[in-house]
Structure 1
Amino acid sequence: MSTKAFIFDLNGTMIDDMHFHLKIWHEVLTSDLGAKLTIEETRSNMYGKNDELLARVFGEGHFTAEEVTAISQRKEEKYQEIYKPHLDLLPGLFDFLEDAHQAGIRLAIGSAAIPYNIDFVLDNLNIRHYFKVIVSAHDVLQSKPHPEVFLKAAELLGVAPDSCIVFEDAPKGVEAAETAGMQSVVLTTMHTTEEFKRYSNIMLYTKDYKNPLLKELIS
């Protein structure tokens, strides 16, 4: 097949950090805010924007907009503090990005992360130059599994949706790609393959970017 664009989710897809997000979210929600959630219940709520997560757990309107911003910022500062010593791309990803770039494939990020966290990754790892387009939580009205983030990335890249491959680690991200009419590669950093069985747009499961089958997407 002739691929024109790759769109990458960030957390759990480019970097293996979802366990750090889980630890900090659980701490913030339970210790700081008083929610009675298990780790698994916290995990099941970890999708979409931070304000949406807080609304799911505490109810719509429980916090003011100013409180949501403060909680979100505090959570992300804690996350960056504990994760920075471990910050690294998934194995094989740097070479994969370079090979795709050299092949003329257009690259984008389509993530529910806020710019503060996207910048943390791109600038500390010096990979910003690979991405022609970055679509963050601040750039969309509707979060995954709504396809807006991926459709917007494709539009900004100037590429038709069916010419895009989405790299994701989460079922709701794969669902968003499917609704957008895009194929997916799943990184199994946080979820098992069983959790994706309902989706028909998955080309490949892989734990990292060293899988030789990924080279076929570039050639």
Structure 2
Amino acid sequence: MTVWDRPEPPTRPAPLDRERMVAAAVALADESGLEAVSLRKVAARLDVGPMRLYGYIASKEELFDLMLDEVYAEILPEEQPGDWREALRTHAHRTRRAALRHPWLADLLGGRPALGPNALAVAEAMLAALDGVADLDTVMRAVETVSAYVTGAIRREVANLRAERATGLSKRDWQRASGPHLSRMLDTGRFPALARFVYDGTEVDAETSFATGLDWVLDAVAAKLTPPPA
């Protein structure tokens, strides 16, 4: 039985419910990362004993499931986009923005399918946009392909942001600090292809890089989508 299938316990003298628990856990994770979330810390933030939480969830993993579904509510589009490409693009950008607001989301993406009501609504919106565009197996591969790109790109971007926080160095600061070493290595002539990209390539910001890669993936998906026979 999942956490969504179990009813909450009856109200007790100190007000408590899953909504308050999830809000407290999300705030903790936003402040200090997923590793900072524990039932003890959530209980302390709510000013209740840790054992009280076990009336609402069976484990920390269930709390993570609830937190993930809470963020999926931010990913769900306000209205259904007009076509499949715009639906997948909207999903990708909304997921990225949610991950930038909640960097811990990157740690929970890409695992087993999320089964909360908001996650299922997001999946429904994507699949509905692709309904009838191709056969079911092709549609599933298309969604998997886009999701794999989005998850990978988000994890890379979040990893860079975490490195900036851990070291106190911005991307530019890190490049300046690492520049002399990289220049010495490139000057050896052992890495000619890399040198050409470093010296002659155009650097773009994270949002542009994400959007460009996403469009390339969507172009590749479009080439595979052919309407199923009537």
State the TM-score, normalizing by the size of structure 1. Answer: 0.31
The structure with more strand, counted as a fraction of residues? 1
The structure with more helix, counted as a fraction of residues? 2
Q: Which one has the largest radius of gyration?
A: 2
State the TM-score, normalizing by the size of structure 2. Answer: 0.30
